[in-house]
């Protein structure tokens, strides 16, 4: 049986050899989420995506918004 790690939840869509697109729903099993597709003999295992190691910077095109908008100083 093939195993594929997926990061989509709760359903996985995949294509069988005959061209059919099949949707399988992940279920909690053994402390994680997984499902077996009997049509293609594949086990899909869900892994939560990890945060990016790359630091992301704020866009210089978007100004920071400061101030109190409750007092009506428009």
- The encoded tokens of residue 38 equal 């009997």
Q: How far is CA 42 from CA 9, 58, 70, 73, in A?
A: 17, 41, 56, 61
pLDDT at residue number 21: 92
Task: Give me the residue label for tokens 């009997």.
Answer: 38
pLDDT at residue number 31: 86
Each domain of the chain, given as residue ranges in start order, spans 2-46
Q: Residue 18 above 60 pLDDT?
A: yes
pLDDT at residue number 71: 59
Tell me the per-residue pLDDT of 30-71, one tens digit each, with 9 for 90 and over.
Answer: 888 999 998 898 999 999 888 888 877 777 776 666 666 665
Give the HSE-up count for residue 61: Cα atoms under 13 Å, Cβ half-sphere.
0
Please give the model's pTM, rounded to 2 decimal places: 0.62
Contact 35, 1 (CB under 8 A): no
What CA–CA distance (Å, rounded) separates 34 from 47? Answer: 9
């Amino acid at each position: 049986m093939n195993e594929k790690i997926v990061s989509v939840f709760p359903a996985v869509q995949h294509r069988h050899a005959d061209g059919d697109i099949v949707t399988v729903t992940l279920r909690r099993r053994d402390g994680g989420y997984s499902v077996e597709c009997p049509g293609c003999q594949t086990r899909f295992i869900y892994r939560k995506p990890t945060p990016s190691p790359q630091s992301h910077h704020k866009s210089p095109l978007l100004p920071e918004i400061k101030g109190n908008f409750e007092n009506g100083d428009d």
